[in-house]
Structure 1
Amino acid sequence: MRALLAWLTGVAALLSVGLVALPPSAAPASATAPAPDCGAAWVGAWRTSPQPGSGADVAGRTLRMIATPQATGTELRIRVSNRFGASPLQVGSASVGLAGAGAELVSGSGRPVTFDGAPGVVVPPGAEWASDPVTFVAERGRAVAVSLFVPTAPALVSVHPVALTTSYVSEPGSVVDDPSGAAFTRPVTSWSVLSGLDVLTPRTEHAVVLVGDSITDGVGATAGTRWSDALAERLTGALTMPVLNAGISANQLVAGVSGPPPAQRYATDVADVPGATDVVLHIGTNDLAAGRSAGEVTAGLAGYADRARADGHRVFLTTITPSNAGAHGLATAQRDAVNRWLRTEGAAHADGVFDFAAAVADPSDPTRLAAAYDSGDGLHLSPAGYRALAGAVDVGRLTGSPCLAEDAAQVRASAAR
């Protein structure tokens, strides 16, 4: 790892003398156009899709949000969201450092974060804001701590409730620079205000965004066992891609339930994410349980896929996983109809269809989950079930990051020294 960091530092030195062109810091890289000559480029390294939550929980306090980037590079940007606020969101100051034990920072790792050169930012209602680039070595798979002092907040702030990661909220006041974590007395299992991390990678990388409901969000999983985590483990070498999780529990495809539906969050989930080239959409079970018809769901899937492909993204649809739980069990006939359409006609709208239902169904009764893959509620999957979903993805169909193929030998040689 020391050799790899030394290699990255060398790349940073090349950047500083202008031997590799950097994209303008104020503008994210195009979502679909790789940087020329496989040079340095920004990529979305971590994302979460927010829902509205109480601003009273964060106003006047410092948040220390723990997130794990899925890319390695020499600079980092944070993104803060005020998507649901009816009034401005004030971030008074911010910092980033390597996450240590609990709310602690690794000694000496903290760096201040600025916004357009200022220590804070006022984010307008409905907006998301990116920070200035911070010189900071981010490592794929190593957690960082983003600290945000929020002097005032609107009644509703952006929150993602199912983090499967512990973050922290301080006592009143600004403690963004406190490495000890002593003031962060309230652990939380949600992310607030922070919505994304971008990393400047030495060579162009592409990202894949997983859009969906609680199955993608990972209900029933534990930290590091969502199907997005299992998929990331499979993407190595030239197939390497940051895997960005845009799942929202209880979300629906057609209606705005438990947060905006995928079509309404398409810009922040996909289109505005630097380096995002691929999308996997897994959603529809909650629509069917709520009484939507198979035709409404297939129309929604086709419409989303057509839009994303028209923007130049590779799009993959998935069959809906089985369930015999409550209203989900009563919707079996409609779910079967959607899955028949996906298997026979889905490819006309997408670059491929992954058969998630077949991957986790009970062979003796395909209307329910196999026992080993059931979290216990008949709907959500166990860690083994989520790994089976990741295994159903034909990774060779994804765009990958071809620029890393020629770089792999250099990385291995550097790491060995």
Structure 2
Amino acid sequence: MWFGRRLLALRGPGPRWNRHAPSGLAIAVAVVLAVGLTVGTTGAGGAAADVRPLRPQDACSSPTWVTAWQTAAQPAPGNPGLAGTTLRMIVRPQVSGSEARIRLSNAYGAVPLTVGAVSAARSDGRAGLLPGSVEPVAFGGKTSVVIPPGAEVESDQVPLEVEAGDPLAVSMFLPAAPPVMTQHSVALQTSYISRKGDWTFGDASAFPTRILSWLVLTGVDVLAPRPVNAVVAMGDSITDGVGSAPDLDERWPDALSAGLATAGGTNVMSVLNAGIARNRLLNDDTVGGGDSPLTRFERDVEGATGATDVVLHIGTNDVAARRPAAEIIKGLQKFAERARNAGKRVYLTTITPSGAGAHGTASAVANRAAVNAWVRVHGREYADGVFDFAATVADPARPTRLAPEFDAGDGLHLSPAGYRALAESVDRDLLTGSPCLTPDRD
């Protein structure tokens, strides 16, 4: 279940809230395929038609809100040293627009979180703000906001020109430090903490401390000139991008976004990263790996404005934890059913190979192979498509391990080349895309 309580959106003058060996291997594959015949043939039906729906011309001329950047929240111990400082979070929106809305989170807080002031501005990619771009951010017309425990708050509209791919800086003054901080721990993006004081409009010299986590900030929506859809990439450290370098946007969702943008036209979508390092499909882990994909579905998928599609790549940590293949398969089925019931297109992937530690034991190898066999044979009975990530990055000579060029060096996580390969294995024509965008107009 989702941590905390859900509050209904308030659209009046106040802020808007959201709660938002080999013989054993062969046997394991045979067993799970037999299981698939009994539990995998009564799903939601085959893949959805790949003909993208047309929109009326007037709808395509209407500015529409879409989530342009998002991260998955998880709890972390609070840092008393943050009291009386300003956080400057750097993010890269994927959609251009004329206005923005900022989402702040206290989803895991046990006490109210006070944010004394907030600003948003175009950034130089570091702590510097581009002159003339700094705007105050209000919540229900007020410059400060108190976020209840377990809640998120969405700001009023901010008259800020946003350009896809250009960094934004969201600065937040914290009068007090919470005992539990809602954050995304492995951001692979440098953000900043100020010296003491409210520096929401301050220059880079006030921000001496660098961090590689996103604190409090969980989303940015933009008002696009015409409708743009979003696809949510949900998963673990492979989706979070572990193995790639900070500040270079080399995760596989980044590579997918770049590929969609290059293709242009109706292929363009906002690609939202909802990966959490150490995440599991079957268990919540509030200490390190965050809530499971099902637990956080409402927040990370349904809560993303304009999200029509979701790609789930997960399971390697469940395999390492010795969860049986049949349980993992049932978890994939439940997730796919949840997504379909929510009106989303859903895509399943095979689990990438690994020979590292608990991920590379004989039982782990057998369970991973069994899950992957089910995804390949039966996944389309539940999902709108299947992407074979495992085959894409496996070593042809030793398929239970990553190919050397795709290995980040630890036998588990991928190199930038590996993440690009995963993105290239996504069949873009299966995604909903954004039907209002055409080669002639964009």
When normalised by structure 1's length, the TM-score is: 0.89
| Residue in structure 1 matched with residue 32 of structure 2 by the alignment | none
Partner AA of 2:420 in structure 1: R
Q: How does 1:66-105 map to 2 (within 5 A)?
A: 66-100=90-124, 102-105=126-129
Deviation digits for residues 180-199 of structure 1 (CA, Å, limit 9, x no counterpart)? 21111101111000000001
Residues 73 and 200, structure 1, Cα contact 8 Å, conserved in 2: yes
Question: Who is 2:400 aligned against?
Answer: 367
Which residue is equivalent to 1:11? none
Give the direction of change, closer, same or farther, for the CA distance of 1:269–1:101 in structure 2 (3 Å limit). closer
Work out whether residues 207 and 242 of structure 1, in 8 Å CA contact, stay in contact via their aligned partners in 2: yes
Task: Describe the SS at the equivalent of 1:74.
Answer: coil
Match of 2:140 in 1: 116
1:395: which partner in 2? 428
AA aligned opposite 1:276: A
Select which of 222, 225, 240 maps to 2:250.
225
SS at structure 2 position matched to 1:401: coil
Does the alignment pair 1:183 with 2:199?
no
Secondary structure of residue in 1 paired with 2:380: helix
The aligned runs of 1:63-212 (5 Å cut-off) are 63-100=87-124, 102-178=126-202, 180-212=203-235
Q: Is the 8 A contact 2:90 2:126 kept in 1?
A: no
Amino acid at match of 2:280: Q
In the alignment, the residues of structure 1 paired with residue 224 and residue 272 of structure 2 have an alpha-carbon distance, to the nearest angstrom, of 16
| Alpha-carbon distance in structure 1 between the residues aligned to 2:290 and 2:125 | 32
- Check conservation: 1:362, 1:370, Cα contact below 8 A: yes
Q: Residue 321 of structure 1 aligns with which residue? A: 352
Identity of aligned residues (%): 53
Mapping 1:240-279, distance limit 5 Å: 240-257=268-285, 258-279=289-310
Q: Conserved in 1, the CA contact under 8 Å of 2:233 and 2:273?
A: yes
Question: How many Å separate the matches in 2 of 1:67 and 1:393?
Answer: 24
Residues 88 and 153 in structure 1, CA contact (< 8 A), matched pair in contact too = no
Provide the alpha-carbon RMSD of the alignment: 1.8
Unmatched runs of 5 consecutive residues or more in structure 2: 1-10, 18-52
- How many Å apart are 1:24 and its aligned residue? 10
Aligned to 2:69: 46
Q: 2:321 and 2:222 mapped to 1: Cα distance?
A: 39
Aligned partner of residue 386 in structure 1, secondary structure: helix
- Which of 26, 47, 59 is matched with 1:37 structurally? 59
Provide the rounded CA distance (Å) in 1 between the counterparts of 2:382 and 2:313.
Answer: 14
AA partner of residue 257 (structure 2): A
Structure 1: runs of 5+ lacking an equivalent: 1-22, 412-417
In the alignment of these two chains, the number of paired residues is: 382
* 8 A Cα contact 2:16 2:154, kept in partner: no
- Separation in structure 1 between the aligned mates of residue 72 and residue 315 of structure 2, nearest angstrom: 17
Displacement after TM superposition at 1:103 (Å): 0.9
Post-superposition CA distance 1:370-392 (Å, at most 9, x none): 00000000000000000000011
1:339 and 2:408 matched: no
Aligned residue identity for 1:261:
S
Q: Does 1:239 align with 2:270?
A: no
Spell out the pairing of 1:7-46 with structure 2 (5 A cutoff).
37-38=59-60, 39-46=62-69
2:268 counterpart letter in structure 1: T
Question: 3-state DSSP class of the match of 1:243?
Answer: strand
Letter in 1 for 2:351: I
Q: Shift of residue 410 of structure 1?
A: 3.8
TM-score calculated relative to the size of structure 2: 0.84
CA offsets 1:273-318 (integer angstroms, 9 cap, x no match): 1100000000000011011110111111110110111110000000
